Amino acid sequence: MASAAYDAILLVPVLFISSYLFLSLAQAFSGPLKRPLFQSWLVCVLAVYFVYCWTRSGQTLAMKTWHIRLAQTDGAPVCLRQALARFLFALCGVLLFGIGFWWALLDRDRQFLHDRLSGTRLFDHHAKLHAPPAVQ
């Protein structure tokens, strides 16, 4: 949760600049579609940031700080489809009063709902991702 809060702080300038860009380019445009187009633009900017980071290195800037890496449940790198699915599921969860994050309190593995649905998992960055489970 701390990583998500840190990402939110880091994204404020990105959203500010992208808002300025959109509003500058759409200055002459007025009408009922301007607001939903603007909101869609901001969601697309966020999607590009998260999907790019998750598919490139498995980490956003905040995840690097907190030593968290996103991967498939078996530790393999996240593919584009999974990253997009995770973003969209997380967005829906946030819009539904954060249910995707609250889910982790009830989940047996403490996973977020968007990770369960997209087949992803958060790992400690320092842990070996491809290590076999310990035999007991």
pLDDT at 133 over 60: no
* 57: its two tokens: 């290195």
Strand pairing report for 120-124 and 68-72: antiparallel
Task: Please compute the mean of the pLDDT values over residues 48-73 and round it to a whole number.
Answer: 95
pLDDT at 129 over 70: no
Give, in order, the Cα–Cα distances in Å from 22 to each of 2, 27, 95: 30, 8, 23
Decide if 90 contacts 82 (C-beta within 8 A): no
Give pLDDT, residue 5.
87
Domain locations in the chain? 2-124
How far is C-alpha 71 from the geometric centre of its chain's CA atoms? 12
Task: Please compute the mean of the pLDDT values over residues 114-121 and round it to a whole number.
Answer: 96
DSSP 8-state secondary structure symbol assigned to residue 110: -
C-alpha 38/C-alpha 40 separation (Å) is: 5
Give pLDDT, residue 43.
97
